[in-house]
Amino acid sequence: QSVLTQPPSASGTPGQRVTISCFGSSSNIGSNTVDWYQQLPGTAPKLLIYSNNQRPSGVPDRFSGSKSGTSASLAISGLQSEDEADYYCAAWDDRLSLYVFGTGTKVTVL
Amino acid sequence: EVQLVQSGAEVKKPGESLRISCKGSGYSFTNYWITWVRQMPGKGLEWMGRIDPSDSYTNYSPSLQGHVTISADKSISTVYLQLSSLKASDTAMYYCARQAVATSFDFWGQGTLVTVSS
């Protein structure tokens, strides 16, 4: 059971901007930092954003993250075909004492 | 180059036990926690637990406590995930990952597919 809720799907044409939301609560997003992972088909997840809005080395600046209260969002600008993947938000949950992942959003490039 | 290399695919019968491994290289192994994440077929990611390889301190997901054991052998830079009394619902891809800043996981293993079937 995931306590972080994401839309199941999102889509856009090449070059467009796509935003994915992640809704949590005071025990997870409200009190801890948010990470985002990208999972290309058949591969291991990859860290995309950490600590709400930080990009690891090598991640294009087309990807950006933000957090406000108990929700977070990931924006992909200048959408490219290689961005077709599943995207997961994640955060530590103080009440459950575990790291929780979002329900996942499948991004399709039309 | 940081690498986490996991052991190969496993096929087990219900009730059996399983141990899979994750070997780290290219960094100071005892400086980073290792976590295990499970992904059932067609489903999302599930955090299972983590270990500090320097002293083998562990945290587990409450829902998996008692079913899962995570251990480490720092002399060979390897972390293990043990599952007992396997059920068909344990069929999944299992990933190890290195915990970096805060709770984020910056490097991942390639995954180990576990199939439990009679």
Long-range contacts of B26-31 (CB under 8 A, 24+ apart): B26/B1, B26/B2, B27/B2, B27/B98, B29/B53, B29/B74, B29/B77, B30/B54, B30/B74
Is A99 in contact with B46 (Cβ distance < 8 A)?
Answer: no
**A58-79 pLDDT, tens digit each:** 999 999 999 999 999 999 999 9
Residue A45: which of B8, B104, B62 has the closest Cα? Answer: B104
> Average pLDDT of chain A?
96
CA–CA min distance B97, chain A (Å): 9
The predicted model gives A5-27 an average pLDDT of: 97
Is B45 in contact with A88 (Cβ distance < 8 A)?
Answer: yes
Is B45 in contact with A91 (Cβ distance < 8 A)?
Answer: no
Which residues of chain B are within 8 Å of residue A88 when distances are taken between CB atoms?
Answer: 44-45
Backbone angles phi, psi at B103, to 5 degrees: -110, 10
CA–CA min distance A79, chain B (Å): 23
pLDDT score at A1: 59
Residues of B with CB under 8 A from a CB of A: 35, 37, 44-47, 59, 61-62, 95, 97, 100-106, 108-111
The pLDDT profile of chain B, 118 residues, written as one tens digit per residue, is: 999 999 999 999 999 999 999 999 999 999 999 999 999 999 999 999 999 999 999 999 999 988 999 999 999 999 999 999 999 999 999 999 999 877 899 999 999 999 999 9
Contact B67, B83 (CB under 8 A): yes
Establish how many alpha carbons lie within 13 A of residue A9's alpha carbon, considering only the half-sphere containing its beta carbon. Answer: 5
**Chain B contact for A37 (CB, 8 A cutoff):** yes
Higher pLDDT: A10 or A2? It is A10
Cα separation, A53 vs B116, in Å, equals: 39
pLDDT score at B59: 93
Establish how many alpha carbons lie within 13 A of residue B5's alpha carbon, considering only the half-sphere containing its beta carbon. Answer: 8
Sequence-separated (6 or more) residues with CB below 8 Å from residue B25: B2, B3, B5, B77
Q: What angle do CA A23, A29, A34 make, to 5 degrees?
A: 100
Provide the percentage of residues in chain A whose pLDDT is more than 70. Answer: 99
**Chain B contact for A94 (CB, 8 A cutoff):** no
Which residues of chain B are within 8 Å of residue A35 when distances are taken between CB atoms?
Answer: 102-105
Is A51 in contact with B102 (Cβ distance < 8 A)?
Answer: yes
